[in-house]
């Protein structure tokens, strides 16, 4: 069980790292010394407290550095009865706790996305957005925050003139919220959590690794889904591809994206034992086998949807190539694989091409706001004309210090009994699976293979996009696997992913989720479409 006693233990355990500005230092001291600490008066509570009793215990209280407002949320549909606790710390850090009617003694903190700016809701339309509800229904207290500012997840303008907001986003919001949340839980239920877990995807995955690296005593276990841990590297890659797409003739329309994806599927789909529209053996899907340069139009000039021009091939080349920037070995990003799902809804169209206008793509918006507000520090800068990306290495170092979670030595986390699960969709268009593999390999080198195997696991879900979606099975209960691992010592092996039918809510597909570097190979009956939808007919196999 983690200890959350006082300010000194927080600082000594490395949970709070004070930034260089006097304003930030003053704010953190205020947060840790705020009036309403654990000595506040509240009604008697116990771990058997109901949601209603927990709401009563915390209503209007100031606990730690947070002022709390509570409301009892009635059961509705799939959502059970719970106590909603809205907390505010300092001028702009907001968080929300959902306290279950029957607490299991555990805490689940869900990370944000992009540049955060809002509190992730309890549930949503896809497998990732439903994770907090899954935890709540199991009896976890769930927590989420806006990371210290309010705004769009693709807007970093909050950091332009507010170093406190920038530091909270970068690394301090999670430990700051936890310092108050754990005290609030103890006030509501009479005891702090016996186990605390963090789970997040994309930026939430970055927050997960940031917690492991900088605050190794904060959580018993962490789930880092598609971790955007190397901001300097992937923002630079986003900038590179955006420039190429914006260049004359560089844009790929839906037909050309389909042409490329179809070539990948024809070359690689069957390498996993079955042609099902999903390339499940990416290691065998080599560039030489795909040979996408063979799609070149005659003379390199665009002559229609049956070929790619030189300008369009330059985009594909950049997509699949590693990039390195000046200043540090960590200022790099590994290229993406061609997955065969580039034409799936929400993959290249949403993330890369912006449905024909690169300035509408998610990758453009993220690199644009980062360059404007965190690098050039000038909102009027045109990111498509910002060249070279590493023109000022001091800017890269500043971004890296703020946002990068690239330290592979997680020995303190492991020594504290911490457990780490990493997961990513194999068709992720936002963050490179090869970059995730690089971090995992560096981790194994830093702590040793034996320690790494005992404390860290990596999984890739074939055919799954960024955090969720795509034709693959995108739902997997990593929280249950982590809790069994941390609480019972049950080391996770092959897990099971499912894909839910959006209309009926029934399971449409199940697949084994194999530990890297294994992949799911079809070993079931030939020509049986129904069998190809069942995990039992696949075997995790070495590439």
What are phi and psi for residue 338, nearest 5 degrees? -85, 115
Closest CA to 107 of 426, 487, 455: 487
CA separation for the pair 519, 334 (Å, rounded)? 21
310 close to 250: Cβ distance less than 8 angstroms = no
CA separation for the pair 308, 259 (Å, rounded)? 9
Res 46: pLDDT: 53
Closest CA to 510 of 481, 541, 538: 538
What are phi and psi for residue 411, nearest 5 degrees? -55, -45
**Residue 505: other Cβ atoms inside 10 A:** 9
SS3 419: strand
The CA radius of gyration of the chain, in Å to the nearest whole number, is 24
**What is the pTM (predicted TM-score) of this model?**
0.92
CA end-to-end distance (rounded Å), the chain: 39
CA separation for the pair 157, 374 (Å, rounded)? 8
Check whether the bond before 517 is cis (ω within 30° of 0): yes
Res 186: pLDDT: 97
| Dihedral angle of Cα 285, 289, 293, 297, to the nearest 10 degrees | -110
In the predicted model, residues of the chain with pLDDT beneath 50 are: 1-45
- What's 151's DSSP letter? S
């Amino acid at each position: 069980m983690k200890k959350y006693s006082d300010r000194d233990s927080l600082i000594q355990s490395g949970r709070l790292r004070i930034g260089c500005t006097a304003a930030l230092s003053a704010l953190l001291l205020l947060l840790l010394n705020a009036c309403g600490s654990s000595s506040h008066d509240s009604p008697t509570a116990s771990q058997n407290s109901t949601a209603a009793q927990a709401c009563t215990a915390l209503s209007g209280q100031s606990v730690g550095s947070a002022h709390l407002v509570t409301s009892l949320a009635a059961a509705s549909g799939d959502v059970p009865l719970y106590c909603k606790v809205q907390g505010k710390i300092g001028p702009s850090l907001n968080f929300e706790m959902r306290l279950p009617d029957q607490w299991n003694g555990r805490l689940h903190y869900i990370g944000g996305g992009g540049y955060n700016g809002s509190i992730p809701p309890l549930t949503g339309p896809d497998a990732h957005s439903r994770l907090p509800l899954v935890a709540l229904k199991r009896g976890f207290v769930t927590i989420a925050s806006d990371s210290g500012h309010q705004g769009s997840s693709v807007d970093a303008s909050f950091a332009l003139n507010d170093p406190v907001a920038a530091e909270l986003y970068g690394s301090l919001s999670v430990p700051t919220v936890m310092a108050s949340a754990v005290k609030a839980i103890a006030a509501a239920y009479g005891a702090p959590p016996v186990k605390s877990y963090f789970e997040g995807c994309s930026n939430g995955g970055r927050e997960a690794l940031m917690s492991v690296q900088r605050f190794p005593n904060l959580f018993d276990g962490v789930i880092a889904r598609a971790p955007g841990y190397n901001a300097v590297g992937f923002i630079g890659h986003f900038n590179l591809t955006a420039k190429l797409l914006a260049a004359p003739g560089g844009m790929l329309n839906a037909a050309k994206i389909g042409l490329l994806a179809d070539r990948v599927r024809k070359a690689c789909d069957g390498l996993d034992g079955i042609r099902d529209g999903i390339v499940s053996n990416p290691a065998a899907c080599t560039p030489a086998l795909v040979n996408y340069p063979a799609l070149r139009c005659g003379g390199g000039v665009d002559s229609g949807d049956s070929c790619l021009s030189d300008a369009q091939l330059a985009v594909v080349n950049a997509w699949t190539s590693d990039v390195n920037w000046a200043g540090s070995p960590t200022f790099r990003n590994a290229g993406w694989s061609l997955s065969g799902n580039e034409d799936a809804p929400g993959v290249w169209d949403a993330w890369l091409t912006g449905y024909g206008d690169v300035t509408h793509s998610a990758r453009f918006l993220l690199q644009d706001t980062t360059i404007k507000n965190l690098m050039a520090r000038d909102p009027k800068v045109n990111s498509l004309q910002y060249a070279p990306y590493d023109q000022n290495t001091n800017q890269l170092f500043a971004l890296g210090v703020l946002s990068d979670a690239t330290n592979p030595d997680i020995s303190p986390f492991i020594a504290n009994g911490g457990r780490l699960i990493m997961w990513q969709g194999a068709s992720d268009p936002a963050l490179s699976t090869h970059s995730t593999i690089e971090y995992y390999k560096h981790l194994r080198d830093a702590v040793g293979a034996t320690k790494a195997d005992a404390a860290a696991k990596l999984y890739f879900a074939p055919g799954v996009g960024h955090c969720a979606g795509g034709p693959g099975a995108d739902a997997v209960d990593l929280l249950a696997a982590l809790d069994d691992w941390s609480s019972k010592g049950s080391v996770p092996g092959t897990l099971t992913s499912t894909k839910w039918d959006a209309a009926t809510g029934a399971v449409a597909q199940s697949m084994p989720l194999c530990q890297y570097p294994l992949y799911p190979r079809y070993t079931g009956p030939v020509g049986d479409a129904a069998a190809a939808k069942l995990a039992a007919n696949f075997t995790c196999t070495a590439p």
